[in-house]
DNA sequence: CCATAGTACCTTGACAAACATAGTACTATT
DNA sequence: AATAGTACTATGTTTGTCAAGGTACTATGG
């Protein structure tokens, strides 16, 4: 599995958006988000746990998410994350940036001189 | 100009492909490639010179391009770059990877649980 | 009862790409 | 003489990703 042709450098810069996209659909915790990313990609991409937890810290520091401990009476404790209003705005902005950049990127990697934009 | 909403992390990983795309349309030199990238993006993206020359060294080391000095009798000397057969293959591979990754990325940043891929 | 796999979280250190900054050197224009 | 443009290069910093390792609990099969 995970015959990943998706290089990490292509995903780089989208990690935060990917996480926020999951959280805007409901609170979740690290391991579940980790699994859901694999599932969403159809087993084609795995965001490493270390990267994920690094991102949580970054996002929380920037005020885009908040965390709270679940009240599991048994089993491993879970740290849940919730997206903030700021986080939603940040997500929307990132998606907009992505849609915008996508087209330019397409021209840059495939276009010839006749495709010059104005 | 250059009200760049394109973050460098979105371009990251595509630098080599962007350069190879220009070179597969004919030999060129650093400064010209620098200018053409700005032009191709419609003044929306500037690949910094430092990044460009770092990429040249990387690409040459990997055998994807070769360089030779131009025979300018006047003006600053120019170092030309030519794409190799290996470079062309590398370019094709990168474009394929990008097309593949693009769809998955789209799902990851916009998709909900109902969009799970198989 | 013990080994293994799975769930769940976290830290440290290494690496590579992109870039800021700075420099060299020549040409053309004012 | 000053400035802007062309053209190349080196050095050091920042940042995101990840490999590797660790802790701790639960469930399952032999």
Which domains can be identified in chain B, with CATH numbers?
Answer: 8-111 (1.10.10.10)
Name the token pair of B80. Answer: 């030309």
State pLDDT tens for residues A71-118. Answer: 877 667 899 999 999 999 999 999 999 999 999 999 999 987 677 766
Q: What is the mean pLDDT of residues A53-71?
A: 94
Interface A–B counts its CB contacts (< 8 A) at 123
Cα–Cα dist A27/B111, whole Å: 16
Cβ distance of B104 and A45 shorter than 8 Å: yes
How long is the CA A37 to C1' D4 vector, in angstroms?
51
Cα–Cα dist A18/A47, whole Å: 10
Which residues in chain B have their CB less than 8 angstroms from residue A109's CB? 14, 17-18, 21, 94-95, 98
β-pairing verdict for B65-69 and B79-83: antiparallel
Q: Is A4 near strand D, with its CB below 7 A from some atom of it?
A: no
Which residues in chain B have their CB less than 8 angstroms from residue A115's CB? 40
Cα–Cα dist A67/B30, whole Å: 48
pLDDT in tens, chain B (118 residues): 454 568 888 898 899 999 999 999 999 999 999 999 999 999 999 999 999 999 999 999 999 999 999 876 666 678 999 999 999 999 999 999 999 999 999 999 998 877 776 6
Query: What confidence score (pLDDT) does residue A67 get?
Result: 95
Give all strands (DSSP E) within chain A, no chain letters. Answer: 28-29, 65-69, 79-83
CB A107 within 8 A of CB B41: yes
Residue among A19, A21, A40, A43 with most chain B CBs within 10 A, to mutate: A40
Q: Is A15 near strand D, with its CB below 7 A from some atom of it?
A: yes
Residue with tokens 């940043």: B109
Which residues in chain A have their CB less than 8 angstroms from residue B105's CB? 10-11, 14
pTM for the predicted model, two decimal places: 0.88
Chain D: positions less than 7 Å from a protein CB are 5-12, 16-21, 24-27
Cβ distance of A13 and B7 shorter than 8 Å: yes
Q: Where residue A1 falls among pLDDT bands split at 50, 70, 90? A: very low
Cα–Cα dist B117/B107, whole Å: 9
């Amino acid at each position: 599995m995970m015959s990943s042709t998706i290089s990490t450098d292509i995903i780089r810069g989208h990690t935060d958006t990917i996480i926020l996209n999951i959280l805007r659909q409901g609170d979740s915790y690290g391991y579940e988000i980790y699994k859901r990313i694999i599932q969403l990609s159809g087993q084609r991409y795995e965001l490493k746990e270390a990267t994920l937890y690094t991102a949580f810290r970054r996002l929380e520091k920037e005020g885009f998410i908040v965390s709270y401990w679940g009240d599991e009476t048994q089993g491993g404790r879970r740290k849940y994350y919730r997206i903030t209003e700021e986080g939603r705005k940040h997500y929307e902005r990132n998606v907009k940036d992505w849609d915008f950049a996508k087209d330019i990127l397409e021209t840059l990697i495939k276009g010839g001189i006749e495709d010059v934009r104005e």
